[in-house]
Chain A
Amino acid sequence: MFYREAGQFKTSYKADQALFPILQDRIGIAVILIIAFAVIPAFANDFFLTSIMIPFLVFALAAIGLNILTGYCGQLSLGTGAFMGVGAYAAYKLTSIFPDANVIVMVLVSGVFSAAIGAVFGLPSLRIKGLYLAVTTLAAQFFLEWCFIRIPWLYNYNASGAIEVPRREMFGFIVTGAEALPITRYFVVLCITAGIAFLMANVLRGRIGRSWMMIRDMDIAAELMGVRPLRTKLMAFAVSSYICGVAGAMMVFFWLNAAEPSSYSIRLSFQILFMVILGGLGSLGGAFMGAAFIWILPVLLKFVPGLLGIDIAAETVEHATFMIVGALIIFFLIVEPHGFARLWQIAKQKLRVWPFPY
């Protein structure tokens, strides 16, 4: 009733294969974009931007990256954190080698380095599948983390061993460094994340996206339809690592300001993987929903006792948050193993037939 495509006839294939063929979806996405670009900047305070929105968008982008590899191409990876780290260190080196270059361009270029490294670590995927591939990507995680610690050139021989983001300006605005305003950072992160998500949606509906899904669903049949397995898988690794690399660079440049090797540890890989699984494998919207659940929910939960007027210690709240989020993860995975994206699909179907059951 509320979500009915009846009467929306398509008269061309162009209209039929649009990203959002249904009017209600187009309205929905327009509303979300207006909220993201106008409402949030107008009303949000600095805390909301720096602690919730910016990390949320960074994680959503990383989840999109991993989703391309795991959700669309079916190659399980535990090296996401390390590939993000490659992006971060590459961006840091690029900005110190080319101090005058545009920092956003540097962030986007840094993804190329992680794409190259991702493709190298994707080579075993031709022979190894599933959990075993996850173990080989784990090797990437440990090896790259080791590099971040042991190769001082990567952090410009800092005594602290950490990378610190220099101050950079663009069109008179400070975009990076400690003095950059949260609102400026937010806009940069939002534009990059929304832009890459849109471009990936394009790739995924065309030949290349289909060949990834063919490999995921039935690799033998895919090969028979003319898909070259190695080339296709390496491409998925490269594209995925590029996006993760950009997300990693944004993480340090627009959110944390400084990063240590431990910022890109296996913990981060798992965090992103959980976002992808919980959001829904093989869904771009799911990547956003998963990131929101894993990142925003705990932050919000911490405010619940204060709002209810319950006076408990901060540590107790912290522990309780962990437990509640853990329980919710289990709950949602039992309710719908295919993640929030599938729940959203079911909800749409219910809205379509409401008030009838089917």
Chain B
Amino acid sequence: MNAFVADEALTPAGPDASGEPEVLLRVDNVSLAFGGVKAITDISFDIRKGEIRAIIGPNGAGKTSMLNVINGFYHPQEGTITWRGKVRRKMKPYEAASQGIARTFQNVALFKGMTTLDNIMSGRTLKMHRNFFWQVLWRGPAEREEIEHRKRVEDIIDFLEIQAIRKTPVGRLPYGLQKRVELGRALAMEPELLLLDEPMAGMNLEEKEDMSRFIIDVNQEFGTTIALIEHDMGVVMDLSDRVVVLDYGKKIADGPPEEVQASQAVIDAYLGVSH
């Protein structure tokens, strides 16, 4: 396995000779434990560039922990993560962010005291560089930079159709819109890999349809690779290119939606087995 990783590191971007799609992120034999509780045991899978990858599983299967490992909140005790062909060292979340990994949260984690506009602008933080001195002066470089990024943010606001709530503090917005603003904030980072933790939780059918459309658009128009956790199986099967199924911290299936749907292990995990 290690030899394979080393080979990968030498391969430049783009599909390799065998015609296999480029792997953006590879998780190899990752295990994560909190004291005696094993959240993730020996999981390996990969996320290919440009695909929509779903991670599903019953509650407590370790899906969110997996995302936390990918964006640097948790540090796995064992295993390696290979990002764009390079084995990743232990890193902080802000380093993962600067490498192009963005994410939304299961329970909305917006900046409640700020407006929709400011929340999405906050996604541009890493791309803005004017220092304190220029910020104090405002006129000149700092203002130009702000306007330049404001344009990009307005594009995202148009894309998500949230023009009307631009200046509304997000704390006052209904849940469905908050989820949408959170997606906008992640998009403002122009990520290469977008991790969505239950983007449709608690939504009604119409909101789910909207959100699904946004996810597909993001994937196809911007070419963003997406890894999503979702419990709505209809959505997962329709949206995703490949699905990985976790149960009790172990991987029980991996493959295209139809294949996973037919897998006996998955059916057992979801419906239970009689002993």
Residues of chain B in range 64-108 having any CB-CB distance to chain A below 8 Å: 71, 73, 92-94, 96-98, 102-103, 105
Name the residue of chain B whose CB is nearest to the CB of A211: B125
A221 contacts B146, CB within 8 Å?
no
B98 contacts A226, CB within 8 Å?
yes
A14, A205, A209, A217: the one contacting B147 at CB < 8 Å is A14
A203, A218, A227: the one contacting B110 at CB < 8 Å is A218
- How many Å lie between the Cα of A220 and that of B145 in the bound state? 26
B151 contacts A13, CB within 8 Å?
yes
A206 near B: Cβ within 8 Å? yes
Q: Min CB distance, B256 to chain A, in Å? A: 30
Hey, which chain B residues are within 8 Å of A199, CB to CB?
136
Hey, which chain A residues are within 8 Å of B97, CB to CB?
223-226
Hey, which chain B residues are within 8 Å of A224, CB to CB?
71, 93-94, 96-97, 102-103
Hey, which chain B residues are within 8 Å of A228, CB to CB?
94
Q: Min CB distance, A118 to chain B, in Å? A: 15
A202 near B: Cβ within 8 Å? yes
B173 near A: Cβ within 8 Å? no
A17 contacts B150, CB within 8 Å?
yes
A217, A221, A223: the one contacting B113 at CB < 8 Å is A217
A207, A209, A213, A227: the one contacting B130 at CB < 8 Å is A207
B62 near A: Cβ within 8 Å? no
Q: Min CB distance, B71 to chain A, in Å? A: 6
Hey, which chain A residues are within 8 Å of B110, CB to CB?
217-218, 221
Q: Min CB distance, A3 to chain B, in Å? A: 16
- How many Å lie between the Cα of A152 and that of B128 in the bound state? 46
Interface size class of A (residues with CB under 8 A): 20 to 34
B93 contacts A223, CB within 8 Å?
yes
Q: Min CB distance, B213 to chain A, in Å? A: 25
B103, B112, B136: the one contacting A203 at CB < 8 Å is B136
- How many Å lie between the Cα of A203 and that of B125 in the bound state? 14
Hey, which chain B residues are within 8 Å of A217, CB to CB?
110-114
A227 contacts B94, CB within 8 Å?
yes
- How many Å lie between the Cα of A206 and that of B149 in the bound state? 11
Q: Would you give the 0/1 interface string for B130-153, flagging 1 where the beta carbon is closer than 8 Å to chain A?
A: 101001111000110111001100
Residues of chain A in range 272-304 having any CB-CB distance to chain B below 8 Å: 282
Asked, given contacts A210-B118, A218-B109, A224-B97, whether A202 binds B138 with beta carbons under 8 Å apart, the answer is: yes
> Which of A203, A218, A223, A225 counts the most chain B CB atoms within 10 A?
A225
Q: Min CB distance, B15 to chain A, in Å? A: 30
- How many Å lie between the Cα of A117 and that of B136 in the bound state? 22
B196 near A: Cβ within 8 Å? no
A235 contacts B132, CB within 8 Å?
yes
> Which of A17, A205, A226 counts the most chain B CB atoms within 10 A?
A226
- How many Å lie between the Cα of A204 and that of B33 in the bound state? 41
A202 contacts B135, CB within 8 Å?
yes
A208 near B: Cβ within 8 Å? yes
Asked, given contacts A206-B146, A217-B113, A220-B109, whether A225 binds B122 with beta carbons under 8 Å apart, the answer is: yes
- How many Å lie between the Cα of A12 and that of B122 in the bound state? 20
Hey, which chain B residues are within 8 Å of A13, CB to CB?
146-147, 150-151, 154
Q: Min CB distance, B227 to chain A, in Å? A: 15
- How many Å lie between the Cα of A218 and that of B93 in the bound state? 14
B249 near A: Cβ within 8 Å? no
- How many Å lie between the Cα of A17 and that of B148 in the bound state? 12
Q: Min CB distance, B153 to chain A, in Å? A: 10
Hey, which chain A residues are within 8 Å of B121, CB to CB?
210
B37 near A: Cβ within 8 Å? no
A207 contacts B128, CB within 8 Å?
yes
- How many Å lie between the Cα of A206 and that of B110 in the bound state? 18
Q: Min CB distance, A205 to chain B, in Å? A: 8
A residues with a Cβ closer than 8 A to B are 12-14, 17, 199, 202-203, 205-211, 213-214, 216-218, 220-228, 235, 239, 282
Not counting A13-B147, A218-B110, a sample of 14 additional A-B residue pairs whose C-beta atoms are within 8 angstroms of each other reads A14-B147, A17-B150, A199-B136, A202-B137, A203-B132, A207-B124, A209-B135, A210-B114, A217-B110, A217-B111, A224-B103, A225-B102, A226-B126, A282-B113
By Cβ-Cβ distance, the 6 closest A-B pairs, closest first, are A226-B126, A217-B111, A202-B138, A226-B97, A221-B109, A207-B128
